[in-house]
Amino acid sequence: MSQELDHGRTNAPQGSRIDAYVDRYAARAAGMVASEIRALFAVASRPEVVSLAGGMPYVTALPLDVVGELVAELVAKRGPVALQYGSGQGDPALREQICEVMRLEGIEAGADDVVVTVGSQQALDLITRIFIDPGDVVLAEGPSYVGALGTFSAYQAKVVHIAMDDQGLIPESLAQTIYALQTAGNRIKFLYTIPTFQNPAGVTLNEVRRRQVLEICQRAGVLVVEDNPYGLLGFDGEPLRALRADDPEGVVYLGSFSKTLAPGFRVGWALAPHAVRDKLILAMESAVLSHSSFTQLAVGHYLATQPWREQIKTFRELYRERRDALLGALQVLMPPGCSWTHPAGGFFVWMTLPAGLNSKAILPRAVAERVAFVPGTGFYSDGGGAQHMRLSYCYPEPDRIREGVRRLAGVIDQELQLRDTFGTGSAPGHAGVDTPGPDLA
C-alpha cells in the first residue's frame, strides 16, 4: 500500500495552488504571506477590545465642521485646479507653507528643495528606491518604525540595527557598527533615524548625541534620513531642533501632516539636498505622476486660514493626558520585572517584559482578554524584540487606557505563571508581519 501511495505521488498531475502566478512573483514578495498576528489584530478592531496597538491619530479632536467647510470652499473656488493633475514636486504654495512649519524646528530651507509626497511613507519609499540596490546596508535604530523596515525589505536592503537607550541612538554603537560594516566591505547607504519621540520606543535623541550622530555620519560619508512625524507633539517646552537644521547637505528630512493635522490627507514631504531632490521628483513622477492636487490644496487652505499652531497644541494636551494615563496605570498595575520608557511626546511607550516572556506569544491571550498591543518583533528586521511590546496611547480615551492596562497586567501575570510552570517561554515561529495595518486604532 505504501508503495502504491508513493507511486501515486510521483506520477500524479500537478495540484492546484489557488494562485496561478505563484512561481512568477519577484523574490522581494517572498515575505508577503498571511500572518497569524495580523489575524489577531482583526479582532482588535472590535470595540470590545482596548487597542493599545495602532498608531491612529485622534482626528476627532479636529474641528471637523470647519474642515468640511474648507473642503467645500476649495472645490467651489479652486475646483479646476484642485481636481487637475499637479506637478511631480508638489504645489508651490504648500511647499512654502511646509517651510514655515519646519522653521518651528530650526530648519531654514527653500520651498524649491521640498518634494510633497503621499505621507512621509512615500518619501521613505522614494528615498529607498533611489539609493538602495539589493544587499546595500541601511542603518536603523533597534527597534525602528515597522513601515520603514517594510520599505527597506521591499527593496532588499540589509537592515542593521543600532542600539538605543533612553536617550536615543547610542553614538558609540553607531560608530562601531559603521566601522565594522565598512571594514567588511558593506555599502552603507544611509542611517534611518526617528530622533524625536521615536516610534516605537518613545525615546528622544538628546542634544549632545544629535551633534555626535551628525559628526559620525559626516566622517563616515553616511547620509542621514531623519524621519520626524512627531516632532511638534512634544509635551514639554519648545520643539527640539531637527538634525537637518544643523546639516543641510548631510540630512534628508521627512515630515508629515498625518499627526499634526490628519493622515487621511496623506500629505507628507521630503526636504533634500538639491541633487537628491531632483532624483526624488523624477522618482515621484514615475511612481504616481503627481500627488493629489485636491488634498495638497486642502491642507494648504487649512494652514492659510486656520489657527494650526493652536490645533497642534490641542493635540499635544490630549496626548499628554493619555500618556499620563498610560504611565500612571503601568506604574500601579504592572507586575515586577516589567519596565517601560517615558516619552516626552509622540504616541508610544516601549515596554520590556520579564525574562522568558515572549510578547508575540502573549498576544492571543491578550486579545482573548480584550486588549491589544504590538509585539516588539515587528520593529526589528533581525528577529529581535520578542521581550518587548509597543503600547500606544494616541487613540483610546484615558479611562479605556487604564482598563486596557488592567487587562494586560492580568495577562502578563498569567504568562509569568505559565513560564514558571513550564520553565520556558514560547518560541513561536509565525510567518508574516507582526504589526497591524495602518487603519487600526
Partner 1 sequence: MSDLGHVLILAGGLSYEREVSIRSGRRVAEVLRAAGVDVETRDTDATLVPAVLSDPPDAAFVTLHGGAGEDGAIRSVLELLGVPYVGATPDACRVAFDKPTAKAVVRSWGLNTPDSVALPKETFHDLGAAAVLARIVERLGLPLFVKPSRGGSALGASIVRTAEELPAAMVGCFAYGDTALIEKYIKGVEVAVSVVDLGDGPVALPPVEIVADGGVYDYAARYTAGHTEFFAPARLPAEATEACAAMAVAAHTALGLRDISRTDLIVDAAGRPYFLEVNVAPGMTETSLLPMAAGAAGRDLGTLCKGLLEMAAHRG
Q: Which of 160, 251, 254, 367 binds partner 1 (CB under 8 A)?
A: 367
Q: Centre a 10 Å sphere on the Cβ of residue 32 and count the other Cβ atoms it contains.
A: 13
For partner 1, the binding residue among 335, 399, 422, 438 (CB under 8 A) is: 422
The dihedral formed by the CA atoms of 8, 14, 15 and 16, expressed in degrees to the nearest 10: 180
SS3 of 117, please?
Answer: strand
Which member of 26, 34, 184, 355 binds partner 1 (CB under 8 A)?
Answer: 34
From the list 242, 262, 334, 363, which residue makes contact with partner 1 (rule: CB under 8 A)? 363
C-alpha cell at 352: 520590556
Give the cell for residue 264: 487621511
CA atoms within 13 A on the CB side of 262: 17
Q: Is 440 in the site for partner 1 (CB under 8 A)?
A: no
Q: Counting contacts by CB under 8 A, is residue 42 touching partner 1? A: yes
Least distance CB 422 / partner 1 (angstroms): 4
Sign of CA dihedral 195, 201, 207, 209: negative
- Is residue 27 a contact residue for partner 1 (CB under 8 A)? no
What contacts 262, CB < 8 A, 6 or more positions away?
57, 59, 62, 67
Answer whether 394's CB lies under 8 Å from 401's CB: no
- Our finding on whether 342 is near partner 1 (CB under 8 A) is no
Per CB under 8 A, does 9 bind partner 1?
yes
List, in sequence order, the alpha helices (H) in 83-118. Answer: 92-103
205 vs 372 by CB, closer to partner 1: 372
Indicate whether 154 belongs to the interface with partner 1 (CB under 8 A).
no
Is residue 398 involved in binding partner 1 (CB under 8 A)?
Answer: no
Is residue 271 within 8 Å of residue 110, measured between CB atoms? no
Comparing CB distances to partner 1, the nearer of 115 and 363 is 363
Gap between the Cα atoms of 130 and 156, Å rounded = 13
Q: Per rule CB under 8 A, is residue 417 in the interface with partner 1?
A: yes
Other CB atoms within a 10 A radius of the CB of residue 11 amount to 7
- Minimum gap (Å) between residue 328 Cβ and partner 1: 28
For the bound state, the minimum distance from the C-beta of residue 406 to partner 1, rounded and expressed in Å, comes to: 19
- Respond yes or no on whether the N-terminal peptide bond of residue 248 is cis (omega within 30° of 0): no
55/198 Cα distance (integer angstroms): 12
The only residue of 26, 27, 28, 43 in contact with partner 1, by rule CB under 8 A: 43
Give the range of 18-26, 98-106, 259-267, 379-387 binding partner 1 by CB under 8 A: 18-26
Distance CA 260, CA 266 (A): 12
Strands 251-256 and 188-193: what pairing? unpaired
The minimum distance between CB 427 and partner 1, in angstroms, equals 5
CB of 118 to partner 1, least distance (A): 26
* Nearest CB to partner 1, comparing residues 13 and 237: 13
Q: Which of 60, 184, 383, 421 binds partner 1 (CB under 8 A)?
A: 421
Among 8, 80, 185, 383, binds partner 1 (CB under 8 A): 8
Per the listing, cell 512634544 goes with: 234
What would the grid cell of residue 66 be?
470647519
Residue 30 is a binding residue for partner 1 (CB under 8 A): no
The verdict on 383 binding partner 1 (CB under 8 A) reads: no
# chain residues binding partner 1, by CB under 8 A: 49
- The verdict on 418 binding partner 1 (CB under 8 A) reads yes
Least distance from partner 1 to the Cβ atom of residue 182, Å: 37
Spatial separation of the C-alpha atoms in residues 435 and 415, rounded to whole Å: 21
Write out the residues near partner 1 by the rule CB under 8 A. 1-2, 4-5, 8-9, 12, 14-19, 21-22, 32-36, 38-40, 42-43, 46-48, 361-365, 367-368, 417-419, 421-428, 430-432
